Structures are given as structure tokens and as C-alpha cells.
Amino acid sequence: MASEAISDALGRTVRFREMPMQAVRRGNPDMAAMWDFLRGTGYQADIAALRRSYPAVEWSSFTIWAHRGFGPVGFLGRTPQADGCLPSVRQLCSRGYPEIGGQVVQG
């Protein structure tokens, strides 16, 4: 599950809690349309064909991606506090922004 991979990368527990779609529709119809799409057909990709067609690409799993994005170094392999780049999800959560992508992140 994605929350386990992100928890491991952040070094703290992240629990998935689904927001009721009715609440999303009331608050943001565009976001509701996006989640309807992603929960339905969503984006489709033939991963095996992509790997065959582009063998030089360093493909990674979601877990590896999470560690690269949310791990101790932060996004893009830089420490956000040091170079002023955009805050990571970890920083947003620690500042009290619990809702990320329709999910609630809790410590």
C-alpha cells in the first residue's frame, strides 16, 4: 500500500483515510472529476512494453520513488531548507496541511 511506502520514507506513520466523494464534490467539482477519472479508467500504461522500448531509463518502484521524494534529502536530491526549493510533503504535513491529493496524512 502507498501509505506504507511513504511512512517508511518519512520515518513516521502515515495513515490513508479516504475522503467521501460527496464532500469532495461540494468543495471542489474539478478535483472530484479528477478522482472519478483516476478511480475509473485512469491513466493506462503498458509497463513491460515501456521497459522494452526504453531500456536506458532507470525505472523505479513506487517505494524507491517515495524514498527519493520524501526521504531525508527531499525532492530533487536537495535539502529544501538549504536551497529554498519547494517544500516537500513532509514539510507541508509538519506545518499543518493534512490533506494531500484527497488523502489525509496523519502522524
- Report the number of distinct structural domains present in the chain: 1
Which of 14-18, 32-36, 85-89: highest mean pLDDT? 32-36
Name the one residue in this structure whose C-alpha cell is 535539502: 79
The percent of residues above 70 in pLDDT, for the chain, comes to: 66
13 is written with which cell numbers? 506513520
Strands (E), the chain: 99-100, 103-104
Q: Is 76's pLDDT higher than 50?
A: no
Confidence of residue 23 (pLDDT cuts 50, 70, 90): very high
DSSP state of 103: E
What single-letter amino acid sits at 47? I
What is the length of the chain? 107
Asked whether the predicted pLDDT for residue 27 surpasses 70, the reply is yes
Instruction: State the average pLDDT for the chain.
Output: 74
| Whole-angstrom distance, CA of residue 59 vs CA of residue 39 | 24
3-state secondary structure of 101: coil
Domain span at 50 = 2-104
Q: How far apart are CA 44 and CA 52, in angstroms?
A: 17
